[in-house]
Amino acid sequence: MAKSKDLEPRVTALEDKVDELSKQVRTSQHDAAAARVLAGGADRDVAEIRTEIRDFRKATTASFNAMREDMTDFRRDVEVRFGQVDQGFAEMRGKLDATAAGQQQIVTLLDTLIAHEKDKPDTGSADSSKFD
């Protein structure tokens, strides 16, 4: 009988231990299920972020390409306008050169006229005093 008295507390202890282990298994199963749900959510989040990054990259690339085209157009317009300014300066330079040449002709004519008047003898007329 000593064995039967010794057996009952051992069986009770084993039953308690099995109950405890069963609770731990159920808790682990719940934790595993929750972890699977969280992992699935994380996978969806990662997929969404990848899509958003891909869309952002496409939008950024499109924006840079549009800006590059705008800068190319702007540079082309500036070059055309600088060409127009250069042409305007060349036209003005031509006009100023023509004006200077005309003024030089006037100076030459005046020098010739003055020299011609100095070579004339003084007759005492009123016309000779015009250039003194």
**pLDDT tens digits along 53-97:** 999 999 999 999 999 999 999 999 999 999 999 999 999 999 999
- Alpha carbon 75 to its chain centroid, in Å, reads 14
- Amino acid letter, 54: R
pLDDT interval class at 120 (50, 70, 90)? confident
Q: Are the beta carbons of 92 and 78 closer than 8 angstroms?
A: no
Every domain of the chain and the residues it spans: 2-117
pTM of this structure: 0.47
Phi, psi of 122 (to 5 degrees): -75, 115
Cβ contacts of residue 131 below 8 Å, gap of 6+?
113, 114, 117
The whole-number pLDDT of residue 1 equals 45
